[in-house]
Structure 1
Amino acid sequence: MPEPVGDRPVLVRIGAVGVCGSDVLRFGVGKGYGFPLVLGHEMSGTVVEDSPSGAFTSGDRVAIFPCLPDAADPMTEIGEFTLGTHYDYFGSRRDGGLEEYLSVPERNLVRLPEGVSLVEGALVEPAGVALHAVRKATVPANATALVIGAGPIGLLAAQWLRVLGVVRVLVSDIDERKRRVAEHLGFDTIDPTGSTSDARVMEATGGRGVDIAVEASGLGITFLQAVHAAAHRGQVVLLGDLSTDVDLPKETVSRILRRELTLLGTWNARITPRGQSEWDMVVASIGRTVNVADLVSHVFELEQAQSVFEDLADRSVWANKTVFAVSDEAKAEADAALAASFSAKQVP
């Protein structure tokens, strides 16, 4: 059983854990702060005991915010937990959710609404990351947007853009199956094969470009394409953590200057202020205005983790969102989750 963690710790039985691309890098490349390490920062669970304040009672289903802020950090004082210098983090800097139980500070728990499964609850964290990113941009009237990358984060960003008032969202990806998922969710899609995302966008917008371009692939080349897809006074949101270096050609810098573009960096999400945070918005929107269920392509059990991570690291299987069902409750929901998911129907 885990040792108590943080202020007013609560024992949580882990329900489901989503696999992030950063988890695959930690497993396959060794990109981590230290080993051995239990992976998993996209987590849902069930409260085992009443919380110290009584805000949570045994049996409550919760999503778990993975960042453990440093109380002495100035960023913590203003609620920007993940912008601190010395924060801790489940599944990254300390053991995470791919185990049966976790001790979690009460402040890091957000109750899941009635009817939201534990499998869906594991997607609260990436949904929060995507929401935090697109909220950086100002949405003008009759706005258009581009999202490069139709993975889970990209498709969540596209949905949040629509929720926040963007009239037309274009989604670009070289993966035909991921484009199908995007189309199923109601988005116009772009196939950049044989061309580039920015060139396709210019065709689709009559040469104007888009008001908001979101880079969600994490590649240097797609970062440049996002810049070149932006209209005058457009905004470029850098959501993907680049896996390659990028050089800024003179032409690209000139475009940023002459079009007066705004480049927006984003990192993680906010759980403050209580009741009106981005995470509160996520749990209130799941199953209503935001669809996470159709993103889940696979649900596995904890005992399969080794082979699953090997396949993901080797890219030997197609996957959209992979989730581990850890608790018996989550395992009982797995079949229904896959039966209801459009992504699961794309698995060969």
Structure 2
Amino acid sequence: MQTALKLGADNIINAVGKDPYEAVYELTKGKGVDIAVEAAGTVETSAQVLALPEKGGKVVYLGIPYNDVNINRFRFERIVRNELSIFGTWNAISGPFPGKEWKTCVHFLEKKILKTTPLIDREIPLAKGPEAFEDAVNGKVTGKVIFCP
């Protein structure tokens, strides 16, 4: 969460084990957010995100859950009553390779416009891979792990 603040987030909410709806509406004084981006790709977050935008707000789906997403009535009503716009995005390779997304990303990386360093937890030799996976399972990895052969 500290990485998000370093990269410019105004506020952060730890929604582990709870619905972020109440925290978002408390933080925004009952308004909701302009745009809610679902990037985790979990079944839970894919449903939760629908309750977060304000009236006329937007939901952007970046993550892809690998199971059915069940939306309870409250969240479904938020789509209709708040007149939400919902967008899907594709963040992977497009064809023919390299596609526009790939070239755009490389351009921003070359120009140092994207701040990637704060996202990297560690750079380690490939032989330490098992240790890194164990750390990830135990919550000791806070960002990306770069394996260097």
* TM-score (norm. length: structure 2): 0.78
Deviation at 1:308, TM superposition (A): 2.8
Q: 1:253 to 1:310 in 2, by over 3 A?
A: same
- 1:238 corresponds to: 61
Q: What secondary structure sits across from 1:252 in the alignment?
A: helix
Q: 2:126 aligns with which of 295, 302, 306?
A: 302
Structure 1 CA distance, aligned partners of 2:84 and 2:13? Answer: 25
Question: Is contact 1:190-1:200 (8 Å) kept?
Answer: no
Deviation at 1:191, TM superposition (A): 2.7
- 1:280 corresponds to: 103
Deviation at 1:274, TM superposition (A): 8.3
Structure 1 CA distance, aligned partners of 2:124 and 2:19? Answer: 35
Q: 1:270 to 1:184 in 2, by over 3 A?
A: same
* TM-score (norm. length: structure 1): 0.37
Q: 1:316 to 1:210 in 2, by over 3 A?
A: closer
Q: CA RMSD in A?
A: 2.9
Structure 2 CA distance, aligned partners of 1:274 and 1:218? Answer: 25
Deviation at 1:280, TM superposition (A): 1.9
Q: Deviations over 1:276-303 (max 9, x none)?
A: 8222221222253310111111111122
Question: Is contact 1:211-1:234 (8 Å) kept?
Answer: yes
Relative contact order (alpha carbons < 8 A, sep ≥ 6): 1 or 2 greater?
A: 1
- 1:290 corresponds to: 114
Q: 1:309 to 1:239 in 2, by over 3 A?
A: same
Q: 1:306 to 1:264 in 2, by over 3 A?
A: same
Q: Deviations over 1:222-266 (max 9, x none)?
A: 223311111222221222233665421122222211222233233
Q: Find out whether 1:315 has 2:138 as its counterpart.
A: yes
- 2:25 corresponds to: 202
- 2:47 corresponds to: 224
Question: Is contact 2:93-2:99 (8 Å) kept?
Answer: no
Q: Deviations over 1:19-40 (max 9, x none)?
A: xxxxxxxxxxxxxxxxxxxxxx
Letter in 1 for 2:129: A
Structure 1 CA distance, aligned partners of 2:139 and 2:23? Answer: 29
Q: 1:261 to 1:319 in 2, by over 3 A?
A: same
Stretch of structure 1 that moved more, 287-296 or 240-249: 240-249
Structure 1 unaligned regions, length at least 5? 1-178, 327-348
Q: 1:284 to 1:257 in 2, by over 3 A?
A: same
- 1:269 corresponds to: 92
Question: Is contact 1:272-1:278 (8 Å) kept?
Answer: no
- 1:83 corresponds to: none
Question: Is contact 2:35-2:60 (8 Å) kept?
Answer: yes
Letter in 2 for 1:191: I
Q: What secondary structure sits across from 1:211 in the alignment?
A: strand
Q: 1:252 to 1:316 in 2, by over 3 A?
A: closer
- 2:13 corresponds to: 191
Q: What secondary structure sits across from 2:127 in the alignment?
A: helix
Answer with 1 or 2: which has the greater Rg: 1
Q: In the TM superposition, what are the counterparts of 1:22-101 in structure 2 within 5 Å?
A: none
Letter in 2 for 1:187: A
- 2:74 corresponds to: 251
Deviation at 1:318, TM superposition (A): 2.6
Letter in 1 for 2:31: R
Letter in 2 for 1:288: K
- 2:4 corresponds to: 182
Deviation at 1:271, TM superposition (A): 4.7
